């Protein structure tokens, strides 16, 4: 799933080629992905795109007095079509055509938690209302430094209402960089560990965004290996060489280094322990 770094860099690439171009038309290919009904997407045709920004895992196209938000979720991807196409490839959700500029095609490769989009008035935050602060907001730093959250840190980081933009991939990498157990709780961390968590959240996301800026075009189905330890179960830890372990849940896994993060302890595999009950 694309997270903050992929979406931040994508918003920059899209802004570069689309800013100042009028929206020529919207071709709706999959109707269930459009989450709003009040505004007809056709009403936006001819409006000049002010820019594209990211908030959490949403991209926000400014088309004053409207805005279009989209969320790629698990399997949503983006083609920047140069030259623009008029095909309707498998899985295509919507195509935004711009006058004298590339088209943007949103596609869906997933079956659950699908890509979605919203047509809103400029002042209407829609699904953004529920989001917590950005990782680079002071509010995130304050939350980590003073909060008493009792959920596992991995859950805390992935909850978009707590902090917006981090998913399971960068949650693994941030906790590895901070040398914290994915099952530790914010409430139990001392001040130094909290400071490290803030710093490593920033460092991991900044470095990943820098790497993403080398990508060209949209976001392909296979985005390549963007992670230090996520998806690297059983590989050697890049810091200490210990074999990376994981905890499996039904639809995801948490990867960690026992030497760097859990004092050598192997965490119980949730799926296995449930089967053994």
Residues that bind Zn ion (CB under 5 A): 237, 239-240, 242, 257, 259-260
Alpha-carbon distances of 188 from 85, 162, 163, rounded to whole Å: 54, 18, 19
Closest to Zn ion by CB, 259 or 267: 259
Given a contact cutoff of 8 angstroms between Cβ atoms, the answer to whether 217 and 16 are in contact is no
Q: Shortest gap between Cβ of 256 and Zn ion (angstroms)?
A: 9
Q: Shortest gap between Cβ of 73 and Zn ion (angstroms)?
A: 32
Q: Report which residue's Cβ sits closest to Zn ion.
A: 237
Closest to Zn ion by CB, 61 or 177: 177
Q: Shortest gap between Cβ of 255 and Zn ion (angstroms)?
A: 11
Count the neighbouring beta carbons within 10 Å of the beta carbon of residue 152: 18
Closest to Zn ion by CB, 103 or 261: 261
Closest to Zn ion by CB, 107 or 232: 232
Phi, psi at 189, each rounded to 5°? -85, 140
Q: Where are the beta strands (DSSP E) in the chain?
A: 23-28, 51-55, 58-63, 66-71, 76-81, 92-98, 103-108, 116-121, 245-248, 253-256
Given a contact cutoff of 8 angstroms between Cβ atoms, the answer to whether 118 and 37 are in contact is no
Q: Shortest gap between Cβ of 242 and Zn ion (angstroms)?
A: 5
Q: Shortest gap between Cβ of 260 and Zn ion (angstroms)?
A: 3
Closest to Zn ion by CB, 117 or 256: 256
Q: Shortest CA distance to 148 belongs to which of 156, 158, 137?
A: 156
Q: Shortest gap between Cβ of 238 and Zn ion (angstroms)?
A: 8
Q: How far apart are the first and last CA of the chain?
A: 32
Closest to Zn ion by CB, 202 or 239: 239
Q: Is the dihedral of CA 117, 140, 178, 160 positive or negative?
A: negative
């Amino acid at each position: 799933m694309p997270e903050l770094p992929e979406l931040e860099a994508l918003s920059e690439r899209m802004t570069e080629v689309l800013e100042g171009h009028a929206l020529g038309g919207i071709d709706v290919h999959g109707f269930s992905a459009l989450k709003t009904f009040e505004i007809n997407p056709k009403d936006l045709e001819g409006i000049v795109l002010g820019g594209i920004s990211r908030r959490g895992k949403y991209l926000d196209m400014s088309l004053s007095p409207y805005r279009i938000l989209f969320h790629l979720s698990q399997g949503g991807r983006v083609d920047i079509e140069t030259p623009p196409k008029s095909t309707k490839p498998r899985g295509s959700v919507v195509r935004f055509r711009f006058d004298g500029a590339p088209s943007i095609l949103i596609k869906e490769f997933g079956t659950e938690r699908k890509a979605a989009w919203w047509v809103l008035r400029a002042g209407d935050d829609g699904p953004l209302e529920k989001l917590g602060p950005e990782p680079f907001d002071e509010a995130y730093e304050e939350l980590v430094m003073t909060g008493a959250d009792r959920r596992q840190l991995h859950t805390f980081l992935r909850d978009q209402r707590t902090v917006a933009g981090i998913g399971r991939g960068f949650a693994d990498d941030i906790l590895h960089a901070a040398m914290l157990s994915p099952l530790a709780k914010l409430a139990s961390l001392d001040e130094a560990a909290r400071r490290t968590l803030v710093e490593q959240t920033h460092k991991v996301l900044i470095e990943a965004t820098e790497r993403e800026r080398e990508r060209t075009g949209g976001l392909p189905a296979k985005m390549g290996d963007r992670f230090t330890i996520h998806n690297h179960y059983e590989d050697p830890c890049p810091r200490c060489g210990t074999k990376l372990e994981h905890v499996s849940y039904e639809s995801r896994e948490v990867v960690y280094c026992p030497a760097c993060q859990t004092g050598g302890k192997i965490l119980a595999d949730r799926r296995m322990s449930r089967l053994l009950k």
